[in-house]
Amino acid sequence: MADREERRFAEVSRDSVKLMAESAGVDLGDDVAALLAEDVCYRLREATQSSSQFMRHAKRRKLTVEDFNRALRWSNVEAICGYGAQDGLPFRSVKEGELFFVEDRDVNLVELALATNIPKGCAETMVRVNVSYLDGKGNLEPQGAVPTAVQSLSDDLLKYYQQITRAILGEDPHLMKVALLDLQSNSKIAALLPYFVYVISGVKSVSHDLEQLNRLLHMVKSLVQNPYLYLGSYVRSLVSSVMYCILEPLAASINPLNDHWTLRDYAALLLSHIFWTHGDLVSGLYHQILLSLQKVLSDPVRPLCSHYGAVVGLHALGWKAVERVLFPHLPAYWANLQAVLDDYSVSNAQVKADGHKVYGAILVAVERLLKMKALSLSQPAEGATNAQSGSVMGAMGYRVSSPGLSPPPEPLSEAALGIASHLQAGGAGCPWEEWTPVPLPAMYCELYSFFGDSLAVRFSTGPGFGSYPPCTPSQLSDTRKEPSGPASNPDTTRKMPQLTANLNISPRQDGSPRTDPPPPSLAATGSGRTLARSSSVQRSRSSSSRSGQRSTGLVFTAVEKPLEEELRAEVEELRRFFLQENPCVEEGRLGKLLEKALSVHHSDVNVLNAEADERRYDFTSSLYFVIATLTTMGKTWCIKDIMHESLFFDLENNVI
Amino acid sequence: MAAVQSGVGDGVEEKDIKTEPPTDGFGNNANDGRVLSSSPGSSAPAASGKPAAGGTPEDQQTLLAVLQFLKKNKLTESVEILRREAGLPEDAQDAKGADSSGSGGAAGSVDLEGGDASALLSRVTVSSSAAAQAPTKAAEDQPDVNVVLSAYSQQGDPALYEVYYSGLKRFIETVLDCHRAELSQVFYPLFVHMYLELVYNNHENEAKAFFEKFSGDQECYYEDDLRVLSSLTKKEHMRGNETLLDFRTSKFVLRISRDSYQLLKRHLQERQNNQIWNIIQEHLYIDIFDGMPRSKSQIDAMSGSLAGEAKREANKAKVYYGLLKEPEIELPLDDEDEEAENEEGKPKKKKPKKDSMGSKSKKQDPNAPSQNRIPLPELKDSDKLDKIMYMKEATKRIRLGTDNLPSICFYSFLNAYQGLTAVDFTDDSSLIAGGFADSTVRVWSVTPKKLRKVKSAADLNLIDKESDDVLERIMDEKTASESKILYGHSGPVYGISFSPDRNYLLSSSEDGTVRLWSLQTFTCLVGYKGHNYPVWDTQFSPYGYYFVSGGHDRVARLWATDHYQPLRMFSGHLADITCTRFHPNSNYVATGSSDRTIRLWDVLNGNCVRIFTGHKGPIHALAFSPNGKFLASGATDGRVLLWDIGHGLMVGELKGHADTVYSLRFSRDGELLASGSMDNTVRLWDAMKAFDDLETDDFTAATGHVHLQDNSQELLLGTYMTKSTPVIHLHFTRRNLLLAAGAYNP
């Protein structure tokens, strides 16, 4: 329709008519030309008006050349050919003559005919259905996602894009939060995804600015968490951006004052989050990630911060990744690290500090590895322990096999290496493609050889535990512990050299030099003896004897058993219920979270309440966050406990 | 567009349509219906009201001319039929039959008629020899137009037009408030007619000045028409302009209370303002009623159409809006669902009947037409099976309400670069069809059951016809696919409709044809030619067999699938018919038009029984409520209006959409109304409440004056966004799940 401004219609001037006539070889008088011009204008308007109904019936908003031609055809006027193309026609003007024309480029037919790049036909028309609103409420999934179409942005989207990127990369933290939140919940931004991914890929250009990197990572997080977005192949791009933050020696890390470690930790978390939630979108993603992490790790030229990144990345990807990549590489890598750590020269101070970071990260990773490994070993035995499950069951969900029945550790007393018949290689340096699982004892032995006592906190070793130093005396500063193992068990277990994960001990607690009593252990461990609980610091101070602990345990068991069992059953019921309702939650992780939360709770940090307030923080991510932050951060040497707590909150705030 | 008429005669109906302008637009539709009832399948009563004297002499002349034409072309059978139908005496025909059209020297007695007839013929045949015979009319290509326009020829002083108009304006501004709103109605028609008179009499500059000065005063909803008007400044242009022709041929209808009218009359007579008085006399129809003058909002609600409001008489006819009695179908005991549970089986057997048909199955609805008012096709076995399926589904239907909104499934057409123009679902929601701007029709199966063709004739000979699964055997497994494309049209497909039994599909196109496709063989069975201009919409009757189509030629046609010519022609709209819908009882057809009116036509006799005005833009969506009592309509102005068919009243206005409403649908039980629009939303409205709140006292019914409360917001139950996908079709499944469809526009 014509615009409603002063000039309502396009007009054809008298001169134009005259010119046309001249070109056709007719000489027109002025008045004739004027009349003609007027008539032409009228006819044009008429045709335009009648063409609009074709537009309306085609249910479009845009009047096309086709519509106009139809109107012409129905009024018995020849259609105008040559303007049917969908793309806009460039309209040019010549200044001197005040002439406007449509640019008509020459088309080289020969070139066109011989061209090798045959244009693709457009995809087949199809109908796709999706439930848009269930019971009149809420979008379940984005409607009509067209994965391949390269969409041109509408004005609204463009505006949205500009506002969001400006807000996220801008100065105002509040604005950023709002923007991130919207990014996380907006269901209509599918078309913008490529653009956001592109923005995020800009991490490479801002590697000097930690703040910006952080913000971009938050953006990744929001996108990943947006339930309406189908990331598709963009996952790869996002992962590569995140990996950049994890692995690259960022420009920002030159200055030791910059806390790029946190960034790497956060990026690692994010990586694992992307991987767990969207890993299935790209095949082979896991292997690619592992490969690149391995490459970095095995490259001695890389700075320590890169190595650190690789380790936390592996750690974030789960203990299996650690077992596959980190563990085999450890012997080779250890030498390098040791060299750094042993250099006490002043010039090396900074590097050494970095080295300690790496050391800490590795330690955390392998400890988790050992724990999980032990857990996975004990799991199969579960079925057999039915009879005792009531007492064996850990309140926090860890089923630790009853020592007497746990089969795998049997041969431990014989040798550290290569005992099990299926064990073929020690594991060191063996590429993960031909990776064979290393039995836990062997692994433990090997790791112990690296870390020494720092590692021993994880396991208690039986008296007959080969060539290794006997289990460090447990810290028994408290009697509140409730070693709830079956009272009949201790005897058998004592004789049986074994390796059982004491899963209720968090690394943080262990690492903390705190002197206040650790929380009551709700986990049922096989026997009091396995409750070895010490830290590198505390170990030296521990004084109680193992037998003493056992006896106290027995007493307590006897006294408190009925009540405790009741409580335990209740908690167990709760836990099972929760797991049923949230199938996405892995049992092990839940346990871990709760364990952590409880332990933190006992340090007077009210994690659970904080979480309850934090609605925007979805469960899985918070789970990951809490676990990984605590496990990663908790073990880094130099961080003091108090600092640690504040850090925890800092991070918590950051993530929002 | 239709200005230049094709020289080659295209058959009977072409002539009939084009002869209609000289007569009153309102009056002649019944006439047309009668003329065209000559088609074999139509029911007899149509002709009954038409003995020879039925029409005016002009009518008879027209008929004679047609007869002559037919005779000349040796269509003796048609001649017979037409003569029988029209009740023309044999001798009259014979008398004229002697002299063929070309003959100059006709007998004196028939001279006059013969002249007229050949004048008519001259438009159809190319013979110019008749020009001498009919000097005045035949010379013009369109004599009727001239007649119409010549009404403007009275000369007044062009300079005084402004004075007259502003004088009247001053007067109306000074009258009492209660009269002012009513009298203001005359501004627009007066303005238009005065402007046209100026243009017609070649006072171009005065006309422009007049337009400039007063066009701003007109109601905003006339903007589109004013725009057309403003481009028209020459007498020559008037000839081809359809809008103008409409304005001239039909009297603009105003409803004014007696008091206000007296006031106006007195004023004009006192002032000796003959110019305006003449216009009012000639071009306006003032429907005077006794009682309170209407308020501004009341007037605004009803006005907006191209030719003013509907006359009250137009909506007086009785409409049988009730539903037909459902045939009694024994619901067989379910073998799969309820095995051996006869006790439970029985109540279930009864319940669906109650639910789906209510009391109607027991006794006849007083408002329903008699069962055989129009002949309906016999139920086939497969139809009965389908009915049973329907009842079963109906028992599982979700009752919707304000607190129980339906789930919405959106069918997105992806990669529809060629342009999706129409969509339809089958009643059982198993198939979806799309009409496209590239002239194709595509059918998809939305269930896992693939679409299969019937085997070729040779293969069909081979199969065992006695076998139980013969229906399965005739299908060619090799052709199974998710979708089928139907080629045949040569223009965008604007309308599409499945037959209720899912065996056929109708499509109407810009190429002027309606095509019937078989969904067994996926081929075109019939091309119905009759509309010579784009056909905007078509729809099957709910009982199958009949279908209606409407298009740019302003005529809606009723067809039966086994007749290649229409059974009825519904003419009366002043602009394109944009959408057509069958009443659930199949006895009525509703048509929406660009003239911003909705008309309801009686299928039996072709009469227009309702005219609904109130929309301010072309109407693009219509929907009958399942109980047949109400009609909902949506237009380009984004408003949805609700109408009570029995009383012929507007009963509701639903405001909310920001763009053209392209689809409307009531839920299966009529509790909700869903509307889909170009603004990429689906909106749900509380239809129950909208109709419940209604008080139709006798006064409103008698005067047609409605008080509409502005409660759109209360009635709006939900707004559901799509992703840049205009909603062009809506459908409630038998279980009340809402399906929406549209093409994704990246």
Q: What is the pLDDT of residues B407-425, one digit of tens each?
A: 899 998 888 888 899 999 9
pLDDT > 70: what percent of chain A?
54
CB contact under 8 A, B421 and A59: yes
Q: What is the pLDDT averaged over residues A55-59?
A: 90
What's the confidence (pLDDT) of residue B170? 86
Q: Please tell me whether residues A97 and A191 are part of one structural domain.
A: no
- Do residue A265 and residue A361 come from a single domain? yes
Give the pLDDT score at B582. 94
Query: Among B432, B447, B723, B724, which would you mutate to test the A interface (most chain A Cβ atoms within 10 Å of its Cβ)?
Result: B723
pLDDT band at residue B624 using 50, 70 and 90 as cut-offs: very high
- How far away is chain A from the Cα of B141, in angstroms, using its nearest Cα? 15
Alpha helices (runs of H) in A279-385, residue ranges in sequence order: 285-297, 304-317, 319-321, 327-342, 349-378
Percentage of chain B modeled with pLDDT above 70: 75
Q: Pick from B305, B192, B217: which is nearest to B637 by CA?
A: B305
Under an 8 A CB cutoff, do B718 and A129 touch? no
Residues of B in contact with A9 (CB under 8 A): 231
Regarding whether A628 and A534 lie in a shared domain, the answer is yes
Mean pLDDT value of segment B118-143: 38
The whole-angstrom separation of Cα B127 and Cα A632 is 100
For chain B, counts of helices (H) and of strands (E) = 26, 31
State how far the Cα of B52 lies from the Cα of A301, in Å rounded to an integer. Answer: 110
Give the residue carrying structure tokens 């389908």.
B386
The position carrying tokens 């007009």 is A11
Contact A57 B536 (CB under 8 A): yes
Q: CB–CB of A132 and B2 under 8 A?
A: no
Indicate the Cα dihedral angle B392, B393, B394, B398, nearest 10°: 140
DSSP character string of B691-730:
HHT----HHHHHH--------HHHHEEEEEE-SS----EE
Write down the pLDDT at residue B528: 94
- Cα dist. B101→A624, B15, B119, B131 in Å? 96, 16, 10, 12
Q: Which pLDDT belongs to residue B206?
A: 84
Last residue of a domain, one of A447, A478, A495: A447
Per-residue pLDDT band for B150 (boundaries 50, 70, 90) equals low
Strand partners, B526: B516
Give B443-489 as a DSSP string.
EEE-SSSPEEEEPPHHHHHHS-TTSTTHHHHTEEEEEEESEEEE---
In a domain, residue A238? The reply is: yes
**Pair (A428, A531) in one structural domain:** no
Comparing CA positions, the residue from B587, B571, B598, B588 lying closest to residue B30 is B571
Same domain, A96 and A160: no
Is pTM beyond 0.80? Reply is: no
pLDDT higher for B138 or B470? B470
With CA atoms as reference, the chain A residue closest to B435 would be A58
Helices vs. strands in chain A: H and E counts, helices first: 26, 4
3-class secondary structure per residue, B119-147: HHHHHHCCCCCHHHHCCCCCCCCCHHHHH
Residue B662: its chain A contacts at CB < 8 A?
Answer: 59
Which distant-in-sequence residues (6+ apart) come within 8 Å of B315 by Cβ? B609, B610, B611, B648, B704
Which of the 8 DSSP states describes residue A463?
Answer: T
3-class secondary-structure state, position A389: helix
Which tens digits make up the pLDDT trace of A505-541? 334 433 334 434 444 443 333 333 433 343 333 443 4
Lowest-confidence region among A527-541, B523-537, B608-622: A527-541
Domain that holds residue A611: 518-647
DSSP B186-239: THHHHHHHHHHHHHHTT-HHHHHHHHHHHGGGS-GGGHHHHHHHHT--SHHHHH
pLDDT at B154: 57
Is B552 in Cβ contact with A74 (below 8 Å)?
Answer: yes
* Strand pairing report for B649-654 and B640-644: antiparallel
Give the chain B residue nearest A41 (alpha carbons). Answer: B231
User: Crossing angle for the helix pair A155-169 and A210-225, nearest 10 degrees?
Assistant: 130
Q: Which residues of B touch A3 (CB under 8 A)?
A: none
Greatest mean pLDDT among A601-605, B370-374, B697-701: B370-374
How far apart CA B345 and CA A84 sit, in angstroms, is: 63
Interchain contact, B415 vs A123, CB within 8 Å? yes
**Do B407 and A135 lie within an 8 Å CB cutoff?**
yes
Q: What is the CATH number of the domain that holds A97?
A: 1.10.20.10
Residue B92: per-residue pLDDT? 47
Q: Is B628 exposed, middle or buried (0-12, 13-18, 19+ CB in 10 A)?
A: buried
Residues in chain B within 8 Å Cβ distance of A126: 413-415, 444, 483
- Alpha carbon distance A198, A182 (integer Å): 19
Poorest-confidence range of A208-217, A260-269, B37-46?
B37-46
Residue A287 lies in a domain: yes
Predicted local confidence at residue B354, as pLDDT? 41
Q: What are φ and ψ of residue B429, in 5° steps?
A: 60, 30
Report chain B residues whose CB lies below 8 A from the CB of A124.
Answer: 415
Mean pLDDT of all residues in B49-72: 63
- Evaluate if residue A219 carries a pLDDT over 60: yes
Q: What pLDDT, on the 0 to 100 scale, is given for residue B88? A: 66
Same domain, A61 and A204: no
User: Do the chains contact at A66 and B746, CB–CB below 8 Å?
Assistant: no
Share the mean pLDDT of chain A: 65
Shortest CA gap A70–chain B (Å):
9
Is residue A629 over pLDDT 60? no
3-class state of residue B581 by DSSP = strand
Residue A126: inside a domain: no
Answer for the pair A240, A153: CB distance below 8 angstroms, yes or no.
no
Span of A11-25, A329-343, A464-478 with lowest mean pLDDT: A464-478
Q: Alpha-carbon distance B320 to B299, whole Å?
A: 28
The better pLDDT of the pair A152, B388 is held by B388
Name the closest residue on chain A to residue B416, using Cα atoms: A125
Indicate the pairing of strand B738-743 with strand B408-414: parallel
**A2 pLDDT more than 70:** no
Cβ of B415 within 8 Å of Cβ of A75? The answer is no
Q: What is the CATH number of the domain that holds A180?
A: 1.25.40.770
**A38 & A165 share domain:** no
For tokens 């459902």, what's the residue?
A: B326
DSSP single-letter state for residue A125: P
Quick one: residue A427, left, alpha or beta (phi over 0 = left, psi -120 to 50 = alpha)?
left
Contact of A447 with A463, CB cutoff 8 Å: no
Q: Are A404 and A277 found together in one domain?
A: yes
Query: What Rg, from alpha-carbon coordinates, does chain B have?
Result: 28
Nearest to B231 among A9, A137, A143 (CB): A9
Question: In which band, very low, low, confident or very high, does the pLDDT at B568 lie, cut at 50, 70 and 90?
Answer: very high
pLDDT at B159: 75
Angle at CA of residue B325, ends B319 and B329, nearest 5°: 160
* Domain assignment present for A565: yes
Residue corresponding to tokens 């049973």: B388
Task: Provide the β-strand partners of residue B600.
Answer: B590, B610
| Confidence (pLDDT) at B422 | 93
Does A480 reside within a domain? no
Over 60: is that where the pLDDT of A244 sits?
yes
Count of domains forming chain A: 3
pLDDT in tens, A188-200: 777 778 788 888 8
Helix (H) or strand (E) holding B166: helix B158-174
More confident residue, A607 or A34: A34
Residue type, A443: M
A220 and A303, same domain (yes or no):
yes
Last residue of a domain, one of A447, A467, A496: A447
CB contact (8 A) between residue B723 and residue A146: no
Core vs surface per residue B692-712: b (16+ CB within 10 A) or e:
eebeeeeebeebbbbebeebb
Are residues A431 and A524 both part of a single domain? no
**pLDDT level of residue B131 (50, 70, 90 thresholds):** very low
Question: What confidence score (pLDDT) does residue B145 get?
Answer: 53
Q: Among A575-579, B253-257, B647-651, name the one with the lowest average pLDDT.
A: A575-579
Contacts of B407 in chain A (CB under 8 A): 131, 133-136
Min distance A619 CA to chain B CA atoms (Å)? 28
Q: Do A144 and B432 touch (CB under 8 A)?
A: no
Element (H, E) at B674: strand B672-677
Output the six-digit token pair for B2: 């239709």
Are the C-beta atoms of B273 and B565 separated by less than 8 Å?
Answer: no
pLDDT at B744 over 70: yes
Count, residues in chain B:
746
List the beta bridge partners of residue B741: B411, B729
pLDDT greater at residue B354 or residue B666: B666
A186 neighbors A226 (Cβ within 8 angstroms):
yes
Residue pairs spanning A and B at CB distance below 8 A: 165
Last residue of a domain, one of A105, A125, A141: A105
pLDDT tens digits, B291-301: 788 888 888 88
Q: Does residue A382 sit within a domain?
A: yes
Q: Confirm whether A117 is domain-assigned.
A: no
- Give percent helix, percent strand, percent coil of chain B, each to the nearest 5: 35, 25, 40
pLDDT grade, residue B631 (50/70/90)?
very high
CB atoms within 10 A of CB B157: 11
Query: Which residues in chain A have their CB less than 8 angstroms from residue B726's CB?
Result: 59
Beta partners for residue B537, in sequence order: B550
Q: What pLDDT is stored for residue B247 in this prediction?
A: 73
User: Are residues A245 and A319 located together in one domain of the fold?
Assistant: yes
Interface test with B, best of A7, A59, A154, A188 (most B CBs within 10 A): A59
Cα A452 to Cα A416, A446, A538, B430, B730: the distances in Å are 15, 10, 15, 71, 72
Most confident segment among A205-219, A578-592, B232-246, B429-443: B429-443
Kindly state whether residue A110 falls inside one of the protein's structural domains.
Answer: no
- A357 in the same domain as A293: yes
Report residue B740's pLDDT band, with 50, 70 and 90 as the boundaries.
Answer: very high
